[in-house]
Structure formats: C-alpha cells, structure tokens
Structure 1
Amino acid sequence: MSLQEKYNNTVTVTEDKEPEPTKRFRWRVVDDHSPKEIYNFTLYFTVFVFGILGAARGYDEGCISGATNQKSFKKLFGLSDPKKDKHQIADLKSNITSMVQLGSVGGALLAMWSVDYLGRVRALQEVCVIWIAGAIIQITARTVGQLYVGRLLEGFAIGQTTTIGPTFMSEVSPPAYRGLFGCLFSGAVYFGIFTSYAANYGSAKHISSDSHNQWIIPTSMKIALAGLVLIGSFFCVESPRWLVKVRKNDKALQNLCKLRRLPPDHPYIVGELSDINEAVLAEKIANEDYSLWQKMRDIFVVKSVRYRFFMIGAMSQVLGQWSGANAITIYANDLFSFIGVKGIETMKMTVILGVVKFVGAYFSAFFIIDFLGRRKALYIGISLQMLTILFFAIFLHIVPQATDPDSVLTKSQKAASKGAMAALYLSGVGWTMGFNSVQYLLGSEIFPLGLRSFGQSLIMVLHFANQFGNSKAVPKMLLAMDNFGAFYFFTTVCAMALFWSWFFIPEISGRSLESMEEVFNLPWYLIGRRGATLCPDTSEVNKINYNRRYSIEEVHNEGKDKPSHEFAENASIDSKENKV
C-alpha cells in the first residue's frame, strides 16, 4: 500500500497557509512537527537505560557522604584516629571522597575515544564492567590504599557516563523533547543520591555501628545497579547518527525506523535522515582526516566552536561546580550538623534532601526545561540557589554556636535553624532546575557532529576537574573561612552565573541538532541575547506539521527551504498529484 493510500481519507493539503495555532494554554510542550508513532516503547526503553546511567555519579556521591560518617568506616580507614589533628582528618576525608572525581577526569578523557570508536551501546557496556570491578575492590578493602584504587577505578567508569549518556540522548531524542529526555540523565543523578542516602540511613539505623556491613551493604548496591544497566543495554538500539558517521547507512536507516516506528519511505524518516546525512556529509568534506590534534586546534581557532566550548561548556562547569551544590551533596551530613541537627538525625535529613532533589530534577525535566526553555530555567534555578545559600551563610554567621554539638539554641534560633534547613533543601531545587539541567544537556546539543563526543568529553574533563578541586577544597574552606565564608563565596559565584546565563546562553529548545551552526556563526555579542530570533530552525523535520486536525500537513516556508526539501517529498511520493 502506498503512502497516499494510507492517508487518502485524512490528509489535508495546504499550499501557502498554516493552520491557526491552538489558543488553549498547555503546561507542556506540544510537538506539532512529529507523528505520534515516534513516541513509542522502543524509544522510551532505550532512553531509560541510557538515562538511568546518570545514577552512577549520584549514587557514589551520596554513598560516600554517608560512609565517611559511619563509625565502622571511620575506624577502619583512620578518620577517627586520635593521633590525627583536624587538618589531617580533613585531608584524608577529602582524599577519600574526591578519588572518584580524580578517576573521572581520566574516564572523561577515555570517553573521547570509546564513545566514537566503540559506539554508544558498546561503550555503555564497557563502562558497566569497569563500574562493577571498582565496586568489588571497594567492598573488599581493608586498607585506605585499596579503597583509593577501587574508587579511582570507579571514577574511570563514571567519567565516561557523562559523555555516553548525554551524547546518545541528544542524538535519538525528537527535537521538541530533547531537553526532557536529556534531563532524565541529570535527574537520575538525584535518583542515585536519594537511594544512597536512604541505604546509608537504613544501614546506620538497623546494623550495629561496629559492623563493616554498615557501609559495605550500601556500597555493594553499585554492583546491582551496574548489572541492571548492563542487561538492559543488550536491548537498546544504537544511535543512527553514529552509524551514519561510521558509514553504516543501511543499519542507520534500520535503527531510525525502529526508534521512530515508521516505514523507511515515511516523510518524517526521509526528512530526518536527510538532515543527518547533510550534516555528516558537510562534516566529512570540511574535516577529512580530522585528527585529535585538529579537533583540539579547532576549539581554539574556529570562532563558533571556541564560543561554544569556552563561553558555554567551560563556564557552565566552572560556575556550576563552584556554586555550592556539590559541597552540599557530598558534605550534607556535616552541613546539617552545623545548624543543630545531631547524631543519626543528620542522615535522616540527607534522605529528605535526596527526595527533594530527585523530585525537583524530574519536575524540571517534565515541566520546565523544554516548556520554559534553557535560559528561563537557568534564571529561575540560579536565582533560587543564590538566595537560599545566602540565607544559609547568614545563619551560620549570626548563629555560629549552632555548630557546637553541646549547644542549646533559643526559640528564635531554633526557628532560624529550621529556615536554614529549608534553605539547603530549596538550594537543591534551584540547582536541579538550573545548572544541573543544562550542564550535561548543552554540551551534548551545541557541538557539530564531528566534535560532539570530543567536545562533550572535554567539557566533562573540566566538570570532574572542578568537582575534584571543589571536593578537596571545601573541608579546608570550612575551616579557614569559618563555615559561613565559604557560603558567601558560593553566593557570589551564583550572582556571576546570573549575568552569564543572560548574556551568553542562546535559547535552543526545540531546535534540531543540525541547525545549531547558524546560531553560533553570529557575532559573539548577539548569540546569547538574539541568536534564536535571528536564526530560526529550517531543518526538514520542522517543515512537516502534525496536529489534531491534520494527519500530515506540509508547511511551506517560502525562501527558507533547503535544497533537500524537494527530495524529502519525492522520496516517498511518486507523482505531483499525490504530494502529501
């Protein structure tokens, strides 16, 4: 049956007139450029497997946060050694917590090779094996040296996840929901944090403090999580964009049809594959024999790439990692003790913090990042984070006695303490809505195909390098700056980030990946503030309009059609009379 016969009772053709837009307000993104078939189980399952990969980093951050406060862990690895002074204890604690971040720098560098050479699915499987090996070394450790080795090896796995997941998600996601699907990865970070906080609290409450199982059981959950992701990966569909890049065009078409649940001659498949082929062909012609050295050179020499890497990718990591969110996650137990929470209750508060961040991350993914756009999400998130961290800093400044475990607070001080606790929770909401939603997403969206995995990997190197430095520095900052000074510093960083997000970040919600180049070829001072307005998206998939009144409607954009537009129509329609 021809395509015309399938739709002959439902197709309405308009030559030069677009249908009137729906007036009714909807608190969600409405995708008028895609048929409903593209949202299917195959796409959702594949996105879920790669999305849950984000839990790897989150689970470790939450797990080590609780483990370093467990009595048996502290005794075994020297954190409660009376011979060490508070500066030596701070150094040891920061070394243990930051070892994964150090390994992640190497993992992010390794991902530059593995993601492109092995493919997205095979790279995911390789990561799971390394992740399991690192966890086994940790749970069998009885010396701090072996613990370092296990955590360093786990870091090699986690460093790769932040390139594999976002790169794959951006390549298979329909443009209208790319932000939502990409944020499933960043949201999974907080699923990992929440589950690890809960595991630590449960083990502290129900297992003897003298038993090593108190920290071994939560740590061993990493093996189960990695195993489930590994099994799920065998049922995933490889990225069609990567397959086109490695000249496996037939397999790319086959996988694209599986992901979209559409036949090969469908206009949407023809249009999307046309966009992919056009982008890949342009990359191959311009960058034939594109070596690693040339990629690094282009980051510094090519104007549009330089802006993307330094002003968006690098700055999102520097500002994001020093905005205080990472310090709150890893040292949450200590921070709750600063405001008067004592004993095992600090772990209960971290569980609540994990729930708040988890809910905030997925609320942002489903209702904010694509609906409001990247810029507005950043504005709201950074503003909330800045104000709440400022409140926390003021509390620590005015009520320093709250840090003393033997202190008794007055009624007003207790009320302020509860406010400071709420501020920590709300700062997590601000982080998940702002920086956390874009630090993975933007890097996977803005680079051209030839540099996408390389650029994302290099950004993740900066991510983990800054996170390593932050994890190492925070214990000493809290000692040297009287606790509150560190949070005044974080507030200042957030204020700088507000200006950065307004001036430098373009709105790219709903754009196809192939249309990014036009935006970043504008003068640098126009990209962030007017880029989306000056360079509308003219990709093939955005020329076909699907809505409730029409099954397929071709919206003609006079003067804006690409040369491949006629090909997209003729590939599936045999005659002018049957044009859809």
Structure 2
Amino acid sequence: MDKILSSTTLWQNRKCLLLCCLVSMANMQYGFDLAAVGSLQAMPGFLKVFGYPSPDSDTGYAIDVSKYTPTELSTVQQLITSLLTLGSFVSSLVAGFFSSYLGRRQALWLACVVNAIACGIQIGTSSAGVLYLGRLLLGFANGFLVTFSNIYTAEAAPAHMRGVMVALFAYWVNIGSIMGAVVDNKTKERMDALSYRIPLACLYIVPALLFVALFFVPESPRWLLHRGKEDAARKALEQLRGSSYAKILAIAPGYNSGDENGSVESTSVIPTLLEVEWAEMVKGVEEEKRTQGDVAALDMFRGVELRRTILCYCMIGCQTASGVWFLIGYQTYFFTVCGIAKAFEFSIMNTCFGFLGVNIGMYAIREWLGRRSILILGAVACGLCQLASAIAASVSPNSLQTGQTLVAFTALFMFFYNGCVGAASYPVATELVSSRLRAWTVGTATSLGYLLAWLVNFCTPYFINPEHLNWGARYGYIWTASNLLCVVFFYFFMPEMKGRSLEELDEIFAARIPARKFESYRCLIREAAHLDAVNAKSGQKGEHY
C-alpha cells in the first residue's frame, strides 16, 4: 500500500493541494508585514505624523534610519515592531485554548476579522497610542493566521504530500516579503500620509481573499473526529481527496490474493485508499481517547508527549538559531556601513534568492531528501555562510570588499535557509506532535519562536553597535556555533518522518522508538486500518466512495 500511496502525484492530489494552498496563503500576511512595516518607518510621510524632530534632517524629521544605530531609533519605531511580536506571541500561546471551541476555519475567520479592525485603526489614526493598539491587534491576528493555517495543512495533507503542503508556509512568507518590499519601494518617496497608508491598506488583501476562500475549504477531518463529528469528518476527507483516491485500489501486503500488478479474484471487497485512510484516522483517534482521555494543556509535558513537545520546541528554536533574524533585521544596516550603494535593492534581491530556495526545497522534500537530511544540509550551509561573513568582517571591517562579501553570503544564506530550514521547519514541527494536542503544542512553540525573534532583535544592537561591544558582522561567529549545535541536534535526536501518516507517528512515539530507528519501524495501525476497511467494505457491497 505504501508503494501505491507514494506513487500518487501532485496532480492526483491537486484538489487537496489547491485547498491547502488557499489556507496557507494566510502566511503571506506575516511576510508582507515583516517587509512593509519595517521599511515604512523611514518614510517622510510616516515620520511627519509619528516621527520626531531632527535638526540634522533637511525636513526637520529623522527620515534616514541608516544615519542612526538601532539603539538610537525613536520609541515609536521600536514599539511598532515589538508590539506586533507581542500580539503574535500572545495569540499563539492561547491558540490551544481557542481550538477547544473553534475549528481551524473558524479561528482563521476570527483572525481575518481582527486583522481588518487592526488595519482600520492604524490607517485612520494620527495618535501613537492608538497606533500601538492597532499593531498589538494585528499581531494577535498574525499569530492565529500562522498557527492555524499550518496546523490545518498538516492535518489535511496526505502523509506522502505533507512535507510539500506544509512547506507552503515558507513559500507564501517569501511572496509576501517580496510584495511588501515592492509596495514600499513604490511609495517611499511620497511626502504625504499615503506613503504609509497604502502599504497598510494592502494588509487587507490577504485576509479578504482568505475570508472568502475559507467558504470553499472543508474543516480539518481530524479536528472533527476529535469532536465526535464522524459524518462531517468523513465528508471533509472526501472533499479534500476528491475522486482520485476512490479509483486507486489500496492493496496492502498480506491481503492481496492476486499477482504483483494488483489483480485479484474479486475486487468487491478491496478498499480504496480513501477508505483505508479514513479507517486509520478513526483508529488513531479512538486509540488516543482510550489511552489519554480528554485534552489538557499540561498533557504536553507528560509521558511520551514530553519528548514530542521538546522536539517541536527545539525545531522552532532552530529557526532562530540559524541567525536568520539577525540578517533580516540588520543586513541593510551592514550593507550601508560597508558602502554598498544599493543596500535596499540588494535586500530585495536576497528575498528573491530565498524564494528560489523555497521552490527547490519543496521539490527536494518530496523527491530527494527526507526531513532530517535537508535540515542537516541547511544548518551546515547557514553556519558556513555566517562564518564567511564574520571572517570577512574580521579581516577588513567596514570595507567595500567586506560589503560585497556580505551581499554574496547573505544571498546564499537566504537561499539555503529558506530552501532547507525554513521549508522543513513547520512540516516537522506540526507532525512531531499528537493530533489532540497539536494546537496547544504548535501554538506554544510558535510563541517561543516569536519570543526568540524578539530576543535576537533586542540583544543584537548591544553586540554590533560601536558604543557597546562593536562586533559588527563578527557577530556571525555566534551564529556559526549555534548552527553547529543544530547539526548535532538534527543528527542525533530528529527522527525521519517522511511518508508516515500522523497516526503512524503516534504509534511510533508511543512505542518510544529511538530517532535512528524510525525509518525501519513497522507500524501496525495501517494494517489494522486496512482490515477494518475490508470488513466495512464487505458489509457495504453496492456502495462506493
């Protein structure tokens, strides 16, 4: 059966791919905001309303952020970024609580509504205090959009396609980042309030499209099963899989009385892939309820769940350990200090390199490498890029040659980060944890990611600024070491989960199998599900799905 399942193509799964692509579009909002709002703080039109007087500026306002070190930026500018992160942190942290009452779709709809309110507040106000409120609300919406969209795609995707479909997270984040940079580039020279209101108004686009698209997307079958809604769950699974899974015979070893091509004496009792997948889901949920009972948040830290939670947290932590937030936040600053004339344009170029990496990484996850291998490759490459930048800064700090080296290795870093660590991180994080605790564990892990990102942005100025440690780009030595630790973690502790269903992973973790033996472990739940599907089929002759 595994051979038959793995032979199904993206085209045969096109309906599920399209639906997951629509839901994953929510991540585009995060990328757009990250690129657009960070740049609009340097726009004359924005600083005329929210800025501060500057005698060194021709217009009387501080409009050239590159003249100032990060610690000298205004309080308004600092809070605009940190309050968004705080809102995202809080919403991700409580995602598990909301998942007890709201389905994945309903949570995303709520996020779209909150996003609309937050954008309206920011566009319409000229008060810094009200602007802070808008940023906090927008962060709350972003946290829900990222958390629930990735949980949905993990639960909706077939096992052999889950890596590609959840990796759409990185795909959409990069598209959003490119679009945010392009919009800012078009409005940055305006002297009126439209210079920042146009980018903020663009934050309506993704939630508006998502709000409408969700009417055509079924709820997560696994969430419905955990709520005891079996009929709705079965219907949702049929909508996600379409007709192709009903046409492929799922013939498992031991139940095939025919030849190797799959011909049998009677196909009337051979279940389809859809029926076997459904039986496996039902058995998985029944087993969870039998052994673990009702959902409680603290279950994340008990028994076998503790190992899964730690692995999930470490996976999200490895995103920050790569040093990506250091380069995203300060690459333009370093380019400018080193005399690179087109620092902003090179930043856009690096984003495009990241987008190219995502596309190649998604293909590699599906066709070439497993999760574990691609994560190790990404950590090694990111560490070497950080090391090269740090060495260049040590040999000739602030020189044009160092700036050119930074441009080159930052581009390579973005390519490998997005193609390896970025593309694989959320597929791995979401499949590491059990279905009943997925919203709690992934939500709190996402909160940890936001906290670590804020911590990097808060601490980095003390390492790189002349009035403090004055390391500059030599700060990359620290990130080289952290990437090395990631390689050790991936090699010894990260299991290979490619091609495994979420229910199979539940069985493997429950059996406390070491990470190195995951690939060779034979799961019984799929064979049991096949028998259940055969029995159900025998009692339903004349019916088909």
Q: Among residues 438, 448, 452, which one is paired with 1:466 in the alignment?
A: 452
Amino acid paired to 1:331 = Y
Q: Which residue of 1 aligns with 2:302?
A: 301
Amino acid paired to 2:51 = G
Q: Which has the higher contact order (CA 8 A, sep 6+)?
A: 1
1:159 Cα offset (Å): 1.0
| 2:537 aligned counterpart, secondary structure | coil
Cα pair 1:68 1:74 within 8 Å, conserved: yes
Q: Are 2:483 and 1:494 equivalent residues in the alignment?
A: yes
TM-score, normalised to structure 2, is: 0.85
Using the alignment, how far apart are the partners of 2:181 and 2:410 within structure 1?
Answer: 15
1:510 Cα offset (Å): 0.7
Cα pair 1:38 1:259 within 8 Å, conserved: no
1:458 Cα offset (Å): 1.3
1:569 Cα offset (Å): 1.6
Using the alignment, how far apart are the partners of 2:434 and 2:350 within structure 1?
Answer: 37
Using the alignment, how far apart are the partners of 1:424 and 1:250 within structure 2?
Answer: 51
1:31 Cα offset (Å): 4.5
Amino acid paired to 1:509 = K
Using the alignment, how far apart are the partners of 2:42 and 2:482 within structure 1?
Answer: 29
Amino acid paired to 1:196 = G
| 1:400 aligned counterpart, secondary structure | coil
Q: Are 2:79 and 1:95 equivalent residues in the alignment?
A: yes
Using the alignment, how far apart are the partners of 2:487 and 2:511 within structure 1?
Answer: 22
Q: Among residues 268, 273, 278, which one is paired with 1:273 in the alignment?
A: 278
Give CA deviations for 1:189-212 in whole Å, capped at 9, x if unaligned.
Answer: 1111111111112223xx43x223
Cα separation, partners in 2 of 1:376 and 1:157, compared to 1, 3 Å? same
Using the alignment, how far apart are the partners of 1:442 and 1:100 within structure 2?
Answer: 26
Cα pair 2:25 2:206 within 8 Å, conserved: no
Q: Which residue of 2 aligns with 1:440?
A: 426
Q: Are 2:527 and 1:530 equivalent residues in the alignment?
A: no
Amino acid paired to 1:490 = W
Using the alignment, how far apart are the partners of 1:82 and 1:324 within structure 2?
Answer: 36
Mapping for residues 447-462 of structure 1, pairs under 5 Å: 447-462=433-448
Amino acid paired to 2:39 = G
Q: Among residues 331, 340, 343, which one is paired with 1:346 in the alignment?
A: 343
Q: Among residues 479, 493, 497, which one is paired with 1:504 in the alignment?
A: 493
| Long gaps (5+) in structure 2 | 57-61, 63-67, 248-268
Cα pair 1:378 1:435 within 8 Å, conserved: yes
Cα pair 2:312 2:433 within 8 Å, conserved: no
Q: Which residue of 2 aligns with 1:73?
A: 46
| 1:149 aligned counterpart, secondary structure | helix
1:131 Cα offset (Å): 1.4
1:505 Cα offset (Å): 0.5
Mapping for residues 309-458 of structure 1, pairs under 5 Å: 309-310=309-310, 312-342=311-341, 345-368=342-365, 371-402=368-399, 409=400, 413=401, 416-458=402-444
Give CA deviations for 1:265-285 in whole Å, capped at 9, x if unaligned.
Answer: 952222111111111111222
1:82 Cα offset (Å): 5.5
Using the alignment, how far apart are the partners of 2:315 and 2:78 within structure 1?
Answer: 24
Using the alignment, how far apart are the partners of 1:498 and 1:91 within structure 2?
Answer: 38
Amino acid paired to 2:131 = L
Using the alignment, how far apart are the partners of 2:161 and 2:502 within structure 1?
Answer: 12
Q: Among residues 500, 503, 506, which one is paired with 1:517 in the alignment?
A: 506
Amino acid paired to 2:407 = M
Q: Which residue of 2 aligns with 1:48?
A: 21
1:538 Cα offset (Å): 4.4
Give CA deviations for 1:35-91 in whole Å, capped at 9, x if unaligned.
Answer: 9995133x2331111111111211111112212332333454336645998534276
Amino acid paired to 1:486 = Y
Amino acid paired to 2:481 = T
Q: Which residue of 1 aligns with 2:199?
A: 218
Cα separation, partners in 2 of 1:116 and 1:365, compared to 1, 3 Å? farther
Cα pair 1:63 1:200 within 8 Å, conserved: yes
Moved more, 509-518 or 471-480: 471-480
Amino acid paired to 2:302 = V
Give CA deviations for 1:518-545 in whole Å, capped at 9, x if unaligned.
Answer: 432465xx63323222x234443xxxxx
Using the alignment, how far apart are the partners of 1:147 and 1:229 within structure 2?
Answer: 25
Q: Which residue of 1 aligns with 2:111?
A: 127
Using the alignment, how far apart are the partners of 1:400 and 1:75 within structure 2?
Answer: 35
Using the alignment, how far apart are the partners of 2:236 and 2:436 within structure 1?
Answer: 20
Q: Which residue of 1 aligns with 2:170?
A: 186
Cα separation, partners in 2 of 1:522 and 1:290, compared to 1, 3 Å? closer
Q: Are 2:215 and 1:196 equivalent residues in the alignment?
A: no
Q: Among residues 547, 565, 571, which one is paired with 2:530 in the alignment?
A: 565
| 1:440 aligned counterpart, secondary structure | helix
Q: Which residue of 2 aligns with 1:550?
A: none
Q: Among residues 88, 92, 96, which one is paired with 1:108 in the alignment?
A: 92
Matched residue count: 503
1:223 Cα offset (Å): 0.7
1:169 Cα offset (Å): 0.6
1:289 Cα offset (Å): 3.7
TM-score, normalised to structure 1, is: 0.80
Q: Among residues 116, 128, 148, which one is paired with 1:164 in the alignment?
A: 148
Amino acid paired to 1:202 = K
Cα pair 1:511 1:537 within 8 Å, conserved: no
Q: Are 2:295 and 1:290 equivalent residues in the alignment?
A: yes
| 1:218 aligned counterpart, secondary structure | helix
Using the alignment, how far apart are the partners of 2:74 and 2:313 within structure 1?
Answer: 29
Q: Among residues 29, 32, 39, which one is paired with 2:13 in the alignment?
A: 39
Amino acid paired to 2:508 = V
Give CA deviations for 1:324-361 in whole Å, capped at 9, x if unaligned.
Answer: 2122223343233133223xx32222221221112211
User: Pairwise CA RMSD of aligned residues?
Assistant: 2.7
Cα separation, partners in 2 of 1:373 and 1:418, compared to 1, 3 Å? same
